[in-house]
Chain A
Amino acid sequence: MTHKPFAITLGVGSSLANKTGSWRVERPVYVDRLPPCNNGCPAGENIQAWLYQAEEGDYEAAWRIIMESNPLPAIMGRACFHPCELACNRVQIDEAVGINAVERFLGDRAIESGWTVTSTAPASGRKVLVVGSGPAGLSAAYHLRLMGHDVEVYEGAPLPGGMLRYGIPAYRLPRDVVDAEIDRIRAMGVVFRLNSPVDDVESLMSKGGFDAAFVAVGSQRGKNPEIPSGDAAKVLDAVSMLHGFEEGEGPVLGRRVVVYGGGDTAMDAARTAQRLGATETIVVYRRTRDRMPAHDEEVIDAQAEGVQMRWLSTVTRAEGGRLMLEKMVLDDAGKAVGTGEFEELEADSLVLALGQDTDLSLLDGSAGVDTAGGVIGVDHNQMTGRAGVFAGGDAAASPTGERTVTAAVGHGARAAAAIDRWIVGEILEVPERRPLATLDRLNPWYYADAPRTMRPRLEAVRRRSNFDEVVGGLNADDALFEARRCMSCGNCFECDNCFGVCPDNAVIKLGSGLRYEFNLDYCKGCGICAKECPCGAIDMVPEHR
């Protein structure tokens, strides 16, 4: 206190001595919420996490995050109907992030670059049987192998892939892509037994010494309702037609083809018929366009390729060269009812796409398995009534009724996790889902305006004569742009906004990848950080007194 200027009695102190945190009635808390894309993904992908890596251009890291849940990114980037994009919050701002396109880009990049996955888990010595090599079977086999189990996949067909190969036409899913992703699983040590239909799961399990089984035989049999038909009528079912075509039998359909049904398989059959030389392909459906179960994208593509639609009609009789249709109306409940009014339609062939079912006789010997209604009953862990036998894919009952490639991959992954627990005598505990990151929690002002990048599409006229892939992929620039449209809903992506907007400097930046921390000594609880957080990753909670 000796060298003080005149009339100054106290030394200068910093206001840091004044802990303004004591004013606070609410405190900010960083939270992580479930992004709607992840919530909407039937395969259980952590989409936001892989987009985060892709935003930085680290495509391999992004791909490896996909591979944690889904071993088929290049396939999924083509065949998935991307419910994630329907759920995406960005839909309400401009357009959904093109998640599916980025996934395909990553999947293709992995195939080009030869990225592989190896199991680092110690060998468990346990053996698991997988019946069926479709998406569910492949997914289960992959995950089980990653966990260190020996896996044998039994497949009745000469080539693996199930519906990926024999159901989805090549113009939607090229076969080299299917082969590449299956080969990667094979290279991990999964054993494929092809041309090996299974007729009794129980005896195969005991003969082969399997500890558990996953049944994913799909629904490969077209439903054949009784349609009175004359001898000369050419009637075939869509599933057999697509399968047969894949095996090299060119079905003779004629010039005028009628496809009966309104699902995705009907669209596949109609678009395939167009490519096989039909001059006119007509889809007959008993209800209206908005009630069609087929995905919009498929219907739009089919129509672009010249497929015609006839709504509110049923086929009542097939004769050689012509069909009898009955006109329908929708009643108040939306059910189609006949009007008694008939008309004739010329047709060289009739393709039935009225749903599929499954031959489940392979489970006849397994006591306790519920196969009522033509599907295998399973619990939330995909286990059937016979302990140790699990089921998934189209063959299993699904609570949502969803029968897609993506749901099948999810079933496979969940079953694998449950099998892994079951063979050591435990039950898989599914963690509770985090609360959803809804748009009202976001501050979208901070996101730059950026409409999505469209994937190139083959011109419709050029599609009719061949099975070239219709939808193209994104280039690296566009994929990066598209990934960066992600708003990271509900999870901090380190934009520094909270760090910048605090009037009290009460946010501590911990460094790249480490996010931030609040300095509660000085935070007055004003709530600006929470309101200005672009992605809604800060909650204000009352202080306890």
Chain B
Amino acid sequence: MTTERTPVRFYQVGSFAVGNRLVALDQRSAQSDPERANSLTSGHRACAGCGEALGARYALDAAMRITKGQLVAVNSTGCLEVFSTPYPETSWRIPWLHSLFANAPSVATGVAAGLRAKGRGDVRVVGQGGDGGTADIGFGSLSGMFERNDDVLFICYDNQGYMNTGVQRSGTTPGAARTATTQAVGPHPGNVFGQGKDMPRIAMAHDIPYVATATVADLFDLETKVERAMAHHGARYLHVLVPCPLGWGAASSDTIRLARLAHESGIFPVFEAEHGQVVSSLPIRRRTPVEEYLRPQRRFAHLFNKSGEVSAVDVVAQIQAQADRNIERYGLLTEEEL
């Protein structure tokens, strides 16, 4: 299984909390270290409770720990770029480049090639962007980077929409979700089903060395995956679910809870794959019906009545069927739960 962590004797909060005073320092998460890189530092202009700001710091701090600070990040256009670098300020404490919306994977390829030419193979390259820059606008250059197997880890922080431009639909917006461009009106309110792009599976179809998914709700899992990714060379892809309080219409305090429910309901499968084959998945601890995940989000409010009961029974059943299919496809339940 993915979470092949150093086995620890039971420590009160197990391996789920960020740290633990009873666990040896080297077994704690990078985030528990008071000297952590803080790759994305305070003062950034992300909304309160931003999952992307959290996911980016989690992933890059882990990469910084593994590479001992020898890391360059290339960012595509998107929330993450906009909120972190309003000219002339920057929130980045790592070497960081931004060029265009569509070309972050190509620029990352170029940076990796340049470093190789200069004999700096010790410096690793991360490309990163939102779901728009990854699944839609930067899709061609990303696919090219995969095809050439360039030595770049590309991380997609997926908040399922174009959030900073006013919450428009993207290729990863889920069915039935309301966005500015998929209003909750008409006979089939919200985003249509069946047109989204399943980025991790598209990446796997390129047979690249490593593909994984993660959420901001399981820090240890996310850090383990960054570590695994950095242990490989060639093109690697990490897809991190980062809830967006603004675009999802959720309480700012619910960011991690929603990511957890996405995994626990099966709607967002957490797994890893090597060379196109799924090799492990993170089991669901407490299986939850998808409606628990949908209810706190106003983008799905049209599926519920005023007292919070499911009103669009067929739509919720359709989403539940997707979750059930994920559970089956990725083996997300342990044997006793099946």
- Which residues does A use to contact B, with CB under 8 Å? 10-20, 23-24, 55-56, 445-450, 481, 484-488, 493-497, 499-506, 509, 511-512, 519, 521-522, 524-528, 530-532, 534, 540
Contact = CB atoms under 8 A, between A and B. Distances in A.
Contacts of B41: 14-16, 505
Nearest to B31: A500
B31 A16 contact: no
A530 B43 CA distance: 20
Contact of B256 (A450, A496, A528): A528
Point out which of B10, B12, B53 has the most chain A C-beta atoms below 10 A from its C-beta.
B12
Contacts of A494: 19, 21
A363 B29 CA distance: 65
B22 A526 contact: no
A500 B18 contact: yes
B88 A534 contact: no
Nearest to A495: B17
A13 B88 contact: yes
Contact of B45 (A18, A24, A56, A495): A18
B13 A447 contact: yes
B34 interface: yes
Contacts of B49: 503, 524, 526-528
Nearest to B91: A15
B20 A496 contact: yes
Interface stretch (B103-111, B158-166, B246-254): B246-254
B50 interface: yes
Nearest to A51: B12
B13 A506 contact: no
A532 B256 contact: yes
Contact of B44 (A55, A504, A511, A532): A504
A519 B42 contact: yes
Given A17-B89, A450-B10, A501-B256, A496 B48 contact: no
B29 A500 contact: yes
Interface of B: 9-22, 28-29, 31-32, 34, 38, 40-51, 53-54, 57, 84, 87-91, 219, 245, 251-257, 260, 285-286
Contacts of B40: 505
23 contacts: A12-B89, A13-B88, A13-B89, A18-B45, A20-B45, A23-B48, A24-B48, A445-B285, A447-B14, A448-B13, A484-B22, A485-B12, A496-B19, A497-B19, A499-B19, A500-B31, A500-B219, A503-B53, A505-B57, A524-B252, A525-B252, A527-B49, A528-B255
B50 A534 contact: no
B43 A19 contact: yes
A467 to B, nearest CB: 36
A499 B12 CA distance: 18
A493 B21 contact: yes
B147 to A, nearest CB: 34
Nearest to B42: A522
A513 to B, nearest CB: 8
A457 to B, nearest CB: 23
Closest 4 CB pairs of A and B: A448-B14, A496-B19, A500-B18, A527-B253
A210 B44 CA distance: 70
Given A494-B19, A501-B256, A532-B256, A447 B12 contact: yes
Contacts of B28: 496
Nearest to B44: A15
B16 A484 contact: no
A495 B89 contact: no
B42 A15 contact: yes
A20 B43 contact: yes
Contacts of A500: 17-19, 29, 31-32, 219
Contacts of B91: 14-15
Contacts of B22: 55-56, 484
Contacts of A450: 10
B255 A526 contact: yes
Contacts of A512: 21
A528 B53 CA distance: 13
Contacts of B29: 496, 500
Given A448-B16, A495-B20, 17 more contacts: A10-B87, A10-B88, A14-B89, A16-B41, A18-B44, A447-B16, A481-B9, A485-B10, A486-B12, A495-B18, A499-B18, A503-B57, A503-B255, A524-B252, A525-B252, A526-B48, A526-B253
A5 to B, nearest CB: 13
Contacts of B252: 524-528
B282 to A, nearest CB: 14
B50 A503 contact: yes
A10 B219 CA distance: 37
B3 to A, nearest CB: 12
A12 B260 contact: no
Contact of A484 (B10, B50, B90): B10
Contacts of A501: 18, 54, 256
